[in-house]
Chain A
Amino acid sequence: MSTLPPAPGDPDALDHAIESLAVTAQALLHAAQAMSAAAVEGSGKALDSTRERSAGTATRLGQGGDRYAGAVAGLREYSVVLRDAHRITARAAQDHDRATAHAHTFSERAHHAAAQLAMIAPIPTSTLTIAHLQDELQSARQGERAAMEAAHQAQLLYDNAMAQLDDAAHRAAAIVRAACDASNDAARGIFDTLADAAAWAWDTIEHLARDVLAAVITSIECAVKALIMGLGLLLVSVVVALVVGIVAIAAVLVAAFALQMTLAQIIRHVVTTAIDRELDFWGIEGVERVRMAFVLLTIVAPPLGAVLSLRMAEEALKPTPEVTRMQEEVAAEHPQAMEDLQQKPDDLADLLEWSGDVDSLGGSEAAVVDIAKVVAADGTVSWIVTLPSTQDWCIPGDKGAPNDLDACLLLMLMPQLKSQYERAVLEAMKQAGIAPDEPVLMVGWSLGGILAGKMASQDSGGYNYQGVLAGGSPIDGFDVDAPVLQVKHQDDGIHELDFVDAQGSHGDHLELWDGVWSGTTFSSIKTGNLIGHECQDYANTLRSHLDHDPAINDLFDDVLPWEGGEGDFSIEHRQYSFHE
């Protein structure tokens, strides 16, 4: 393909179209001439009328013919130039292509000669060869210049032809337009122009109205679609944001709660440790440590101290509740607890679980104490007294269960006094028929453990206390002259309320922990809840220790003769209930 494009247009097709226009022009002019002459020969009214009409039509036909004839004239002049332009530009393009090709060839020859000269320059060569190459180089460069000049001339010829074509086109356009001026629609009379303008205006208004209306409808459709899409996106975004937000809020709450618990534990450790040190410094031991802490609390918050003091006084002055055997209906409402209490224990953890069972039986309206009579194979009798934990926190008011906050306070601060809870337990033990010399194991967690330790340390009721099994109970201040098994959790601050954290196992007092204090072997033992104050968790911790060291069960062998297996003792449970 040539680098110079061919001239535009098609001369042959244009000539054909011009001839067609010329025929029409001739037809129009002949018809006009015929109509203007006596085309309708003869005479008569109809003919006269027709002749009048023909005369006006002939004038219009003449104008049309002139229009066509003028267009034909302009196009014919243009066609001649167009044909010449095609001929000249085709030849110019051909010459240009040929000259360009020659220039390329000469350029390659010049490059080749120059390269050969450069290559042989450092080498001793005959002057003849050098001269030959120099001649070749000069000749090639001359040929290249000549070819480029020829290409340039061809380009000039091409450009000239195109310029002439351009001039001819404008001349032809001017001729065509000049021929049309007289007959153009715009050249009509003022009234026709006004009518056309009115029609145009009406059409324009109609189109505008239609277009505007269509545009408005389209805009409304687009807006509605955009609105629907926007609402959809908004809805999806809201849902996603809600889900993400809920997850984020939950994560933040969990993190905040964990942080709060951690901070609370740290503060508790710091405060209790500080108090412990101060109490140690002043040589305050036992229950006096709790009392000093209470004094400090009263100094810091006198109203609270006053309220708690009043509650303790009220608790001490209340009469002993009436103790009866637990109603069958209560047992029927708690089949799982009763099933646990009817079964023979496999280990000490079962006993600790009984503490949770009596909590379930009594609830916040009554206290239920389980007293199990153990009869060994040799006929000796021992007893297991299982005490409930705090089930009534006296908020907003004091409920029926005597195992409440008041009992806690009295037990911790004034153990010399007997709470109604303790007095009722002694009454239950009496009703159960526990003889003074028969070994008794006191079992309880939290408040139940406190009362168990307190009663054992004071030989309350004159019974033969041979052991205390407690979980999460602050009983380190009680001096119990019998085997004691305490289960403690690191995260539980309740068993530190006596301001004695870890005494460690000594003698027949065994202290079992979870976590890192559980011993290297049992370091995996952990509590099940966040604060670690839960009966079942304490039972689980104890069971984990028993799995590793079953000999722990032998701590209370005066009460429970495990050594011989299942057949060595029988057990009979009775539940006693009382309320304030």
Chain B
Amino acid sequence: MTDLEVRTEALHLLALRVDDIRSRLAGAPEQAQQAAASAGHTAVVGALNDFSSHWTKRRAELDASLADVGASCNAIHRALSQADGDLAAAVRNATPTAASGTTLRQAL
């Protein structure tokens, strides 16, 4: 039997951070383009264009990994929150005492 100790709020925060990073990555080309537009020198403009265009696939892979992590965090958060609620209800119905809070320690 494995010990389960989860801070669901941390999972939720991590998912939110992942979403923020993803949106920033999505705007990466536009940021590089704005910088290139105001640089005023072809050498800098060329470097910024490479900065944006040579990181297309890896950025896509990173985005996919982030989406995966975010989805996992959200799924765990939802599942554990649901399980926690269900267990709390079951405990309330079975015994007069019940555990509550954001930390659940139970031997499975």
The interface of chain A, by Cβ under 8 A from chain B, is 7-14, 16-18, 20-21, 23-24, 27-28, 31, 34-35, 39-47, 49-50, 53-54, 56-57, 60-61, 63-64, 67, 71, 74-75, 78, 82, 165-166, 169-170, 172-174, 176-177, 180, 183-186, 188, 196
Contact = CB atoms under 8 A, between A and B. Distances in A.
A91 B16 CA distance: 50
A46 B58 CA distance: 26
A183 B5 CA distance: 36
27 contacts: A9-B39, A24-B25, A27-B24, A31-B21, A40-B10, A42-B7, A42-B10, A43-B2, A43-B4, A43-B6, A44-B3, A50-B72, A50-B76, A57-B69, A60-B58, A61-B62, A71-B47, A71-B51, A75-B44, A165-B41, A169-B39, A172-B43, A173-B43, A176-B48, A180-B51, A183-B58, A188-B57
Given A17-B38, A64-B25, A67-B51, A44 B5 contact: yes
Nearest to A48: B2
Interface of B: 2-7, 10-11, 14, 17-18, 20-21, 24-25, 27-28, 31-32, 34-35, 37-44, 46-48, 50-51, 54-59, 61-62, 65-66, 68-69, 72-73, 76, 79
Contact of B40 (A7, A23, A188): A7
B69 A53 contact: yes
Contacts, number: 170
Q: Is the interface of A mostly helix, strand, loop or mixed?
A: helix
B33 to A, nearest CB: 9
Name, among A7, A27, A50, the residue most crowded by chain B CB atoms within 10 Å (CB to CB): A50
B38 A185 contact: no
B14 to A, nearest CB: 6
A50 B69 contact: yes
A180 B10 CA distance: 32
A19 to B, nearest CB: 10
B31 A43 contact: no
A168 to B, nearest CB: 8
Nearest to A49: B72
Contacts of B44: 75, 78, 169, 172-173, 176
A330 B86 CA distance: 134
A63 to B, nearest CB: 8
Contacts of B10: 39-42
Contacts of A20: 31, 34
Nearest to B62: A60
A5 to B, nearest CB: 11
Name, among B5, B25, B38, B59, the residue most crowded by chain A CB atoms within 10 Å (CB to CB): B38
B35 A75 contact: yes
Nearest to B57: A185
B88 to A, nearest CB: 18
Shortest beta-carbon contacts, A-B, top 10: A9-B40, A8-B40, A13-B38, A169-B41, A173-B47, A17-B35, A42-B6, A176-B47, A57-B65, A14-B38
A44 B6 contact: yes
B54 A173 contact: no
Contact of B37 (A13, A23, A196): A13
A129 to B, nearest CB: 56
A183 B43 CA distance: 20
Contacts of B2: 43-45
Given A11-B38, A13-B37, A50-B69, 14 more contacts: A24-B25, A31-B18, A35-B69, A41-B10, A42-B4, A43-B4, A46-B79, A53-B72, A61-B66, A71-B32, A169-B44, A172-B43, A176-B51, A180-B55
Contact of B21 (A61, A75, A184): A61
B7 A41 contact: yes
B43 A170 contact: yes
Name, among B24, B34, B47, the residue most crowded by chain A CB atoms within 10 Å (CB to CB): B47
Contacts of A12: 38
Contact of A172 (B47, B56, B68): B47
A406 B68 CA distance: 125
B2 to A, nearest CB: 6
B14 A184 contact: no
A180 B52 CA distance: 10
A71 B77 CA distance: 36
B66 to A, nearest CB: 6
Contacts of B46: 173
Given A28-B21, A44-B5, A60-B62, A8 B41 contact: yes
A412 to B, nearest CB: 110
A18 B34 CA distance: 9
